[in-house]
Chain A
Amino acid sequence: MTAPSDARLRDIFVDMLIARTQAGRLWNLQRQGQVGPVAPLDGHEATIVGAAHALDPEHDWVVPQYREPLGLRRYGPEILERFMLYNLGHPAGGHIPEPIRVLPNQIALATQIPHAVGIAWGMTLRGEPGVALAFFGDGSSSEGDFYEAGNLAGVLGAPVIMLCVNNQWAISTPVHLQTAADSFAAKAAAFGIPGVLVDGNDASAVYDAVDEARSRALAGRGPTLIEATLYRLGAHTTADDPTRYVPAEDLEAARRDDPLLRLRGYLEDRGLWDDGAQEATEVEALELLDRALDRARAEPLAPGSLLDHCYATDTPRLTRQRADLTGGSER
């Protein structure tokens, strides 16, 4: 077990704060009619960022659900660029360019977990070092793909980390209606792999857990299921009203346990953070997002792109449809 260094924790906190700040602006942009639906990550920052920092971007794959992109700064500034295109409904948002080892958002819950298993398995077949980490929520763990992928991972001994982000809610379904199991981590028994329960608000603990799972995997000792327990501090998405079902006192208590507050306090105690750093980081976060938004808005989009990338080359039927669409062939 290797606890992250203070310098590492400061880097983690910067990414967490940037993620939270940018998430706030993104929410507002949706309310202003400027972007499409948004799934805020308030409360998830320690888990997402802590996990990302325990990975090696050059070799390890991140297989997200849809709440993670703002927390994946560790994998490069292009993630934000593509995420803004995604939020503008531009197809280029799905193309995260080489050599970045991050997949685009997945809307169909849990379907990305078998992909992560396949990637991990594929890397061992190619003799490449590296793990694949899949993020998914408590709700996703009820889908068949969670069990089918976990079972396959166990049998193959694939170097995959299944990271269940238990934020207590699947839209309005609380976890006690999602499963009768003692925990999500306990389900690892079905796969014959270790299940690890970790405080998802503690970035250092998450970092540890992921780092250990990664070492296990790279040593050929197979997959791990990690459950990071936290609380969804915001709405499920911009189309959701949590005041209808989240008890106010639970939310209050969760807010007091906000992962940003916790880590900020720790750093400030060590003289590694102050108000000046806070303000500068928040300003920088917004500038980064605004510039990415501007660039995304300027990205051209031709009607013919509707038909691009379905196949490597158009079928005859698509060739005709392309002519119908554009009045002329574009390829």
Chain B
Amino acid sequence: MSFLFRLPDIGEGLEEAEIVEWLVAPGDVVSRDQALVEVLTDKASSELPSPVAGTVIRLGAAEGDRLTVGEVLIELDDGSEPAEPTDAPDWSTADVVPAPKPTDVVEPGGGVPGRVKAAPSTRKLARDLDVDLNALTGSGPGGRIAAEDVRAASAPAGTAADSADHARPAGDLGRMSPGRHPLRGVRGVVARNMARSWSEVPHIHSMDEIDASMLVDFRRRLRGMDRPGASSVTPLTIAAAAAARALRLFPMVNACIEGSPGESIIVHGSVNLGIAVSTDSGLVVPVVRDADLLDLFDLAGAIADLASRGRDGTLTAADLAGGTFTITNYGSLGGRWATPLIVPGQAAILGLGAIADRPLVVDGEVVARPTLPIVLGADHRLIDGDLSSAFRRAITEDLLEPLRLLVGG
């Protein structure tokens, strides 16, 4: 049987050797350990002894040649039976049973069963879009929630109106079982925003109650007109139009303080009115962009559309973004006075109480008139009493004589 003696690494990391002198020739009978050849490496000159006894068949290289470790040095016939040529075993790799392929790949990242799985970046996205992760079914490995799942959820719903925890019929208002509940989803978002507003923004609230007779009459007469959008004009609409005009007169109110307690004043370029809408899932504030550029009827139509979509749960993230000033019609739930909190990123909020007949002094006499309580909440870092009064007066003037909104002035 042919035995191939391949050049070994005899010096701990050598890669080749030069044949200096052959000590045997083809046809020679050699004994085991008999010196076959002298080779020269970087480290030393060495004689290589025969691993087997046998007859030399052929030399693998000539004197002066350089061989790489692993190349055949010499072929010997070791006199044994089987036909296959064999090599001397490589001492450093022989006999280790190859490792079987792992059958059970453990997914990195871990996680505890029961808690929703999502990448930190996905969680941030969910926070930014006000999506409740717990309500979603993930499309990623192991039910992991992917960014696409979050975006898809925010597109139709926007405020996790499909969350089982939060979609409650009106009859369940205020109902919650005793015990500890995680503060998550819409409630969590609201809580964070309220806390931030409360702690970062020093609010001043200034209030006034005005004679709403002209307002009510104006609205009644508009409703009778054959004009698209006329029937949607409400006192809220009129107040919104008045606010949009006032914001153009006093740009400092269409602004916000950045940072806490504050590093810069950002004065917004557009007037984007947020209109607070109460829905089954809670309070949402969709935004009418460039409200000052819309006429009264278009503004009414836009507000009506946002309100209805808010109630349907079909608002998008774009609908909720970019507000510069907010109006909250808290009076629609009843009530005369309130101290609304400013939406983070804004500097003021206008609150409208319920219009109702109340005592008023006209020409020295106490009479019953419809009155409208209004509250202006303002960021006192930016807006002092004189500005807030002036701003409020500007709105009040338009509410007292709504015709001004149609004809300017």
State the A residues within 8 Å of B (CB): 24-25, 28, 30-37, 87-90, 235, 238-241, 243-244, 297-303, 320, 323-328
Contacts and interface: CB of A to CB of B under 8 A. Distances in A.
B91 A303 contact: no
Contacts, number: 94
Nearest to A293: B91
B48 A32 contact: yes
B97 A300 contact: yes
B114 interface: no
B46 interface: yes
Contacts of B88: 32-34
A224 B133 CA distance: 76
Contact of A327 (B8, B43, B91, B100): B100
Contacts of A235: 44
Contacts of B96: 301-303
16 contacts: A31-B46, A31-B47, A31-B48, A32-B5, A32-B49, A33-B10, A33-B88, A35-B91, A239-B11, A241-B43, A297-B89, A301-B95, A301-B96, A302-B96, A303-B98, A303-B99
A83 to B, nearest CB: 14
Interface of B: 5-12, 33, 43-51, 88-92, 94-104, 106
B91 A33 contact: yes
A307 to B, nearest CB: 12
B6 A300 contact: no
Nearest to A24: B33
Contacts of B91: 33-36, 87-89
Nearest to A320: B106
B175 to A, nearest CB: 45
B95 A300 contact: yes
A302 B97 CA distance: 6
Contacts of B94: 88, 297
B35 to A, nearest CB: 9
B99 A327 contact: yes
Nearest to A302: B97
Nearest to B69: A33
A303 B93 CA distance: 12
Contacts of A240: 43-44
> Which of A30, A299, A324 has its CB near the most chain B CB atoms (within 10 A)?
A30
Contact of A325 (B6, B48, B49, B99): B99
Nearest to B7: A33
Contacts of A87: 91
Contacts of A302: 96-97
B106 A31 contact: no
Contacts of A325: 99
B364 to A, nearest CB: 88
Nearest to A290: B32
Nearest to B99: A303
A90 B89 CA distance: 14
> Which of B45, B88, B99 has its CB near the most chain A CB atoms (within 10 A)?
B99
B65 to A, nearest CB: 19
B99 A326 contact: yes
A17 B212 CA distance: 123
A89 B92 contact: yes
B99 A299 contact: no
A301 B95 CA distance: 6
Contacts of B5: 32
Contacts of B48: 31-32
B103 A328 contact: yes
A299 B49 CA distance: 25
